[in-house]
Amino acid sequence: MTEKFYFHTSLVDRAHHFRGDEKWLAEQITKETSHLVPVWRDHNLIHIDDLPRAVMLPHTDSARLREAASVIVFLGAANGQYYFAADVSDLEETDREDLLPGQGGFEDLRGLAGTMDPTEAGLLAYARALMYWHRNHLYCSKCGSPADSGKGGHERHCTNPDCGRTTFPRTDPAVIMLVSRGEGENETALLGRNIRFQGRGLRYSTLAGFVEPGESLEDAVIREVKEEADIDVTDVRYQGSQPWPFPASLMLGYRARATSEAIKIQEDELMDAQWFTKAQVREMAEEGGILPPSGLSISRWLIDAWLNGESSY
Ligand SMILES: [Zn+2]
């Protein structure tokens, strides 16, 4: 099977049964079986040596960071060890370095994940996504009063007793699809060059877009391909999903078959879109830098699975 992508696996079992036990959580975080994963303004603490490694601070090194944290979240458990994330975004850069001498730096996970242990990258992605949600939901969306973290950091509760609204972490679903037409060696795939890829070379990728309220995933695939390339598709089939916490997406991967051929691109989304044969896509893969990086994104996984003749068709 084609190499899987990143962020589909994490170091921890989420152990959700501990989330409601505030007393246990408060005690656990001070014990030697606890580890703290700090997040600073959407950046994760990563030690870069030969390979990047997630820094998970033992309880003896985390006391001052815990004091400085605006929110602490219980991430889960693995092998009798317990993992917490702390949002330390309020720290200035100079304070941050005082608290973490020699512990690596706060880095953008997106650029490093592909060279990390996948379970560590998954844990950091999970921590980053939750902290992004907390920092962007400080106030109740219904009445505007301050909201507090609850359930081990997996809920926020409005502090206004007349309101009391509970909110849950948001994930925005997006569909990503490999559209093909024809059979055998004549089979081609629709790949586009997004305007957001400008400056990152001639990168071609599968089409993608956010799911709208009241829309099924299959209808979102059909609508996005029509909007972006004016291609009609049918036979929409689910292939796999990838959390993409940059900042809060879940990518739902599909294959679909085209029933039309003439491409007309949506110019505020795509710079170009074309039908490519397998031979052409293999050449692009060999050249490097033209397709999304191997092993990181579901986009490349969908492309590689198509090249290798693997799919639910
Ligand atoms: Zn409220």
Domain 172-307 class in CATH: alpha beta
pLDDT category of residue 12 using cuts at 50, 70 and 90: very high
Distance, CA 142 to ligand 1 centroid (Å)?
Answer: 5
Domain 16-136 class in CATH: alpha beta
Q: How large is the average pLDDT for residues 16-41?
A: 95
Read off the pLDDT of residues 217-226 as tens digits, 9 standing for 90 and up.
999 999 999 9
Question: Which of 185 and 203 is assigned the larger pLDDT?
Answer: 203
Q: What is the pTM of this model?
A: 0.91
Distance, CA 136 to ligand 1 centroid (Å)?
Answer: 15
Distance, CA 158 to ligand 1 centroid (Å)?
Answer: 5
Distance, CA 139 to ligand 1 centroid (Å)?
Answer: 8
As a whole number of angstroms, the distance between CA 197 and CA 207 comes to: 13
- The domains of the chain are located at 16-136, 172-307
pLDDT category of residue 312 using cuts at 50, 70 and 90: low
pLDDT at 36 over 90: yes
Distance, CA 161 to ligand 1 centroid (Å)?
Answer: 8
Do the domains at 16-136 and 172-307 have one common CATH topology?
yes
Distance, CA 297 to ligand 1 centroid (Å)?
Answer: 38
Distance, CA 170 to ligand 1 centroid (Å)?
Answer: 17
Amino acid at 89: S
Read off the pLDDT of residues 116-151 as tens digits, 9 standing for 90 and up.
999 999 999 999 999 999 999 999 999 999 999 999
Distance, CA 144 to ligand 1 centroid (Å)?
Answer: 6
What does the pLDDT read at residue 201? 59
Distance, CA 167 to ligand 1 centroid (Å)?
Answer: 10
Distance, CA 153 to ligand 1 centroid (Å)?
Answer: 18
What does the pLDDT read at residue 198? 59
Mean of the per-residue pLDDT values of the chain: 92
pLDDT category of residue 311 using cuts at 50, 70 and 90: low
Read off the pLDDT of residues 161-177 as tens digits, 9 standing for 90 and up.
999 999 999 999 999 99
Distance, CA 80 to ligand 1 centroid (Å)?
Answer: 38
Distance, CA 164 to ligand 1 centroid (Å)?
Answer: 6
Percent of the chain, pLDDT > 90? 77
